[in-house]
Amino acid sequence: MAFVFVLILAGCSAKHGDVIVDIDVPTEASAATQEPTLEPSQEPTQEPSQEPSQEPTQEPTQEPTQQPTDAPTQQPTQQPTTPPVPGDDQAVFDDAVFIGNSIFEGLYRFGIITHGVFLTKVGLNVNSFYTDPPSSGGTKPIYDELAGANYKKVIINLGLNEVGWPSQETFISRYTNIINDIKTRLPGAKVYVVAMTPVTKKYSNSTGADNGINIKNINRTNGMIESMCASTGAIFVPNPSELFDAEGYLPAEASSDGVHMNLQYDRIWAAHIAAWVKAN
């Protein structure tokens, strides 16, 4: 399952694929503000007929069949002017590469993290990591973009496009292969795996009950991701307490679509990741 968000910029047009749409500027942290929506709903239900040349070695046999139903459109092509996390805190990212789906894409597109390299793609999952180029440009798959690079830190955030899959064991198996392949391609680099962020209670109990992107599944799979990190030598980055309300959901005011966080909470998350990487 994959999900897209519509990223928001002032007075500009965003292009994704063959679709062009006009979008508006987000305000700081208003839940009423228009936020990116879910990633595409048309996730392939079968493996591509030709796998990339360096695909993970332990490929599960069952492909997910349940996908989200919401399907928005596209992403912006220009950087916004939102104030980033303080520069001194971001110096830790100077030798880092970020790999992830629309949740990480927002940190780059909204200018919240301005250091490091972003190899992100709206709708990215553990399969398309080997086949899709990053949104930032280029024609090579994200995995191949790592060849010959000298990154010292790899910071990954995947899972919200896969948490509704029938088999989370399949997802974890493929995530494990990605980590091992990255370690082979970038020997000596530290790999940080960032936990999936929570969703709001409203989303979890409505749309999330149908597409699997709900707090129960997110918490369960985050536990599996943490165990995967222990077994692969990756560093698990948990969510900061500010991303949870008293009931353990993403606060209602943190997101207008229930999944993608607004600028205020993205900054909190980015500062937390920076502090965690600096400490580890």
Per-residue confidence (pLDDT) for residue 215, from 0 to 100: 98
Domains, the chain: 78-279 (3.40.50.1110)
pTM of the model: 0.73
Q: What is the mean pLDDT of residues 99-120?
A: 94
pLDDT at 51 over 50: no
Per-residue confidence (pLDDT) for residue 89, from 0 to 100: 78
Strand partners, 191: 154
Per the listing, tokens 């879910």 go with 38
User: Which tens digit of pLDDT belongs to each residue from 23-42?
Assistant: 233 334 333 333 333 443 33
User: Which tens digit of pLDDT belongs to each residue from 219-246?
Assistant: 999 999 999 999 999 999 999 999 999 9
Q: What is the mean pLDDT of residues 117-134?
A: 96
pLDDT at 20 over 60: no
Per-residue confidence (pLDDT) for residue 85, from 0 to 100: 55
